[in-house]
Amino acid sequence: MAFFGGYFFREVWVNLRRNLLMTIAAVITMAVSLTLVASALMMKQAIKKASVQWRGGVELSIFLQPGVTPNQQEALSHELSGMTEVKKVRFVDKPAAYDEFRQMFANTPDLVNSLSVNDMPPSYRVVPTKAEDVNAIGQRFQTQPGVKEVVYAKEVISNILKQFDTRRKVAIVLAAGAFAGAFALIVNTIQLAIFARRREIAVMKLVGATNWFIQIPFMLEGAIQGILGALLAFTISFVFRGTIASLASSGTLVGGPPLYVTSHEAIFTGIAIMVVGGLIGIVGSAFSVRRFLAV
């Protein structure tokens, strides 16, 4: 097994060095396509994180004044509970609002540290019985004592999601085109390597070498090209993760700092695109070698 391992990796090195320019072109093309894929994933993560307060079907949030009195809060709660237009209501107190605030703006520690739990406005998160009841509920509470503002989910996120969807589709289309180019380059690189060693391969087949024994070095070569492209894409997307996340929209969901992804999310995205890059390299190589051996 050690002999076979040394043989395989030696053959991979020889092939990569012999077709260096084609290898570099394949790696760069793969990096471009995987960077676009990583960008789409990061933008989605940024949107998901920033929209944390709208989960569970919440259509509007009634933010209270930080100094709202117990009587004002009780009156608002009683009125919301008695409305047939309200399907479900959830109260978010100051500690819960602060935890949510820290999650949404974790990428700006200076802002988080400048505010405390007491600075957070409590709120009611409202799920209406019917979607058309949203405006009626909001207008009813807009001027109530103790209410700071009413924020509508539909108004806040519809535009940003529309912008994100458009940019995600553009990234996917461009990535698909780049993937096709990377696949073609990998296939051509492997075929050049096979053609340069066609006599050696013919001799190997005559002495009983299996197709798999011949294929493995070329498949490893494709995998290395794919993984190198993925590593380059990961480096680019990790360094520029803040800029990439902000491209999801020209604004933010609730104001404040731009959209962002954490370093851990970027690392998990990098792992995913490395797997994709390796698989594309292997599939492209296998396709190229099988096609040649079948001739």
Predicted confidence (pLDDT) per residue in 66-77, tens digit: 788 888 888 998
- Contact call for residues 120 and 66 (beta carbons, < 8 A): yes
Question: Mean pLDDT: which of 70-79, 112-121, 191-200, 244-253 is highest?
Answer: 70-79
Judge whether residue 100 has pLDDT over 60. yes
- The answer to whether 221 touches 190, Cβ cutoff 8 Å, is yes
Query: Which residues make Cβ contacts (< 8 Å) with residue 238, sequence separation at least 6?
Result: 263, 266, 267, 270
E strands of the chain, at which residues?
A: 60-64, 86-92, 123-128, 147-152
7 pLDDT band, cuts 50/70/90, is: low
Predicted confidence (pLDDT) at residue 56 exceeds the cutoff of 60: no
Using alpha carbons, list the distances in angstroms from residue 129 to 47, 110, 120: 26, 40, 28
Q: What pLDDT is attached to residue 3? A: 42
CA-based nearest residue to 237, from 7, 11, 36, 23: 36
Q: Using CA atoms, how far apart are residues 83 and 134, in angstroms rounded to an integer?
A: 12
pLDDT for residue 6: 65
Q: pLDDT above 70 covers what percent of the chain?
A: 75
Residue 52: closest CA among 102, 121, 89: 102
pLDDT digits (tens, 9 = 90+) for 230-275: 899 899 988 888 777 777 655 444 444 456 677 777 888 888 888 8
Average pLDDT, the chain: 76
Q: Is 50 exceeded by the pLDDT of residue 111?
A: yes
Q: Domain 53-154: state its class.
A: alpha beta
pLDDT digits (tens, 9 = 90+) for 130-185: 767 777 888 888 888 888 888 876 655 566 666 667 777 777 787 788 778 777 87
- Please list the residues that pair with 125 across neighbouring strands: 61, 90
Closest CA to 191 of 234, 221, 155, 158: 221
| 40-54, 79-93, 181-195, 203-217: least confident range | 40-54
User: Taking the model in full, what pTM does it have?
Assistant: 0.58
User: How confident is residue 2, by pLDDT bands cut at 50, 70 and 90?
Assistant: very low
In the predicted model, is pLDDT for residue 48 greater than 80?
Answer: no
Average pLDDT (37-55) is 70
pLDDT-based confidence at residue 294 (cuts at 50, 70, 90): low
Helix, strand, or coil (residue 234)? helix
Q: Specify the residue for token string 């009156």.
A: 75
pLDDT at 256: 41
pLDDT score recorded for residue 288? 74
Residues 174 and 269: their CA atoms lie apart, in Å, by 18
Sequence ranges of the chain with CATH classification 3.30.70.3040: 53-154
Q: What is the pLDDT of residue 231?
A: 92
